[in-house]
Amino acid sequence: MSNSETLIHPRQVLFPLGLGTALSLMGDATLYTVLPTHTAEAGIALSSVGIILGVNRAVRLFLNGPAGLAYDRWPRRRLFVPALFIGSLSTAIYAVTRGFWPLLVGRLLWGLAWSGIWVGGATVILDVTTAQDRGRWTGLYQTWFFLGAALGAFAGGLLTDWLGYGATMWLGAAVTALGGLVALILLPETRGIRPDLGSPSFEETRLRLGANWGLWAAASLQGINRFVTAGVLAATMGLLVQDHLPSTSLALGVATLTGVLMAGRTLLSTVAAPLAGAASDRLGSRWEVAGWGLAIGIISMALMAWGAPAAILTGLSLGAVTGGSVQALVTALTGDLVSQAQRGRAIGLLHTAGDLGSAVGPPAAYVLMPWIGLQGVYLLCAGLFAAGLALAMLVRLRTE
């Protein structure tokens, strides 16, 4: 069998896999949108917001590795589908409880669910792609992720203003369960469907997985990208709206306007991800395309730090390009750099780096704001993107 042939075409898995992933994000995206401004309804103090928004990522630092190992050893469906239903349960906990500790339990459960969903989804996509088309299909799967996050942020903010916090969380739980049913019915099993002749052999990877510096560089870019986009920006968007965009003439609540901005940013990422992935397939240089994305990120955070409404909106738009392109490319790079037999573990490492960044991002932002302000936090993020750009260019020079 040639390396361009598969027993299952990527489009056969993309819909159930992507839809399940997208719908699973309803509760999480809603919480990021509304929790900073609805702490009373949740029964927590503002000082606890960073912990609650980051703890699900913190627990995944210990869960992504085992999840990747499980996906390397067992059928994909057996792990992915139950993870979706666990995600629905976690959102239901947000709806029926109030206070710090119950919310913390729900977030820990969501961390378990998302490890299964996100590690598994990427592994399935790598199962059915090759080095020649991996960027495109990985980007398309990321589009589902960003679409789910965007719709969750927009609908979550809007519904919270209309229906209230608890009712919105109940709807989120139902939506996630629907995605689980679709995956249960339509998602095919992809484990072991074909040999992958375009990637390193199993023996090569087994001997050097821990010393694969290209993989560690990709993981570092993932950590930086998630620290900024899914950590700092997601956790401070409500405060940004409240502090810098109070004079809007639109008759919108803070939660709704926050949701609109988060959704718009995320929808732009849905376009950037597949375009960047396809460009990397055509150019044969994923590192170069990632470098351009990071350069755009530097500009975006500098504009956000400026604080003028037009600069904020432009910065959010540019930052969406960075977030979408880097996230798609590092996943494709992981597929290029390791064998099929150990992709689950490699994806687990990649997402552990991303979760470390996104877990540290919210509490770091809230800790630093009293000292350097929101402007200083955003300038720090620009510096991190600059470090990532230097790393990507170094790897490109050494490998291409």
HSE at residue 203, side-chain half, CA atoms within 13 A, is 0
Interatomic CA distance for residues 196 and 205, integer angstroms: 13
- Is the per-residue pLDDT at 218 higher than 90? yes
Length, in residues, of the chain: 400
23-47 tens-digit pLDDT:
999 999 899 888 888 888 888 888 8
The mean pLDDT of 103-118, rounded to a whole number, is: 96
Q: At what angle do helices 100-114 and 26-34 cross, to 10 degrees?
A: 140
Return the minimum-mean-pLDDT range out of 113-122, 220-229, 337-346: 337-346
- Indicate the angle between helix axes 309-337 and 343-399, nearest 10 degrees: 100
Please, are residues 214 and 399 in contact by the beta-carbon 8 Å criterion?
Answer: yes
Report the pLDDT value the prediction gives residue 8, as an integer from 0 to 100.
83
How much is the pTM? 0.82
Domain ranges of the chain: 11-399
Helices (H) and strands (E) in the chain, counts: 16, 0
What is the mean pLDDT of the segment spanning 217-235? 91
Mean pLDDT of 368-392: 94
* Whether the Cβ atoms of residue 153 and residue 267 lie closer than 8 Å to each other: no
Instruction: Kindly provide the residue ranges of all beta strands, DSSP E only, lying in the chain, ordered along the sequence.
Output: none
Q: Give residue 206's pLDDT band: very low, low, confident or very high (50, 70, 90).
A: very low
Give the pLDDT of residue 306: 87
Reported confidence tier of residue 246, pLDDT bands at 50, 70, 90: low
Q: For residues 396 and 387, what is the distance between their CA atoms, to the nearest angstrom? A: 14
CATH of 11-399, one of 1.20.1250.20, 1.20.1260.10, 3.20.20.210, 3.40.390.10: 1.20.1250.20
Query: What's the pLDDT tens digit per position in 282-319?
Result: 988 899 999 999 999 999 999 988 878 888 888 888 99
Percent of the chain with pLDDT over 90: 52
pLDDT for the residue 3: 41
Q: Pick from 367, 247, 231: which is nearest to 308 by CA?
A: 247
Q: Can you tell me the distance from the alpha carbon of 105 to that of 79, in angstroms, rounded to the nearest whole number?
A: 21
Q: Is residue 387 very low, low, confident or very high in pLDDT (cuts 50, 70, 90)?
A: very high
Contact 331, 303 (CB under 8 A): no
Give the N- to C-terminal CA distance of the chain in Å, as an integer.
28
Predicted confidence at residue 195, as pLDDT, reads 53
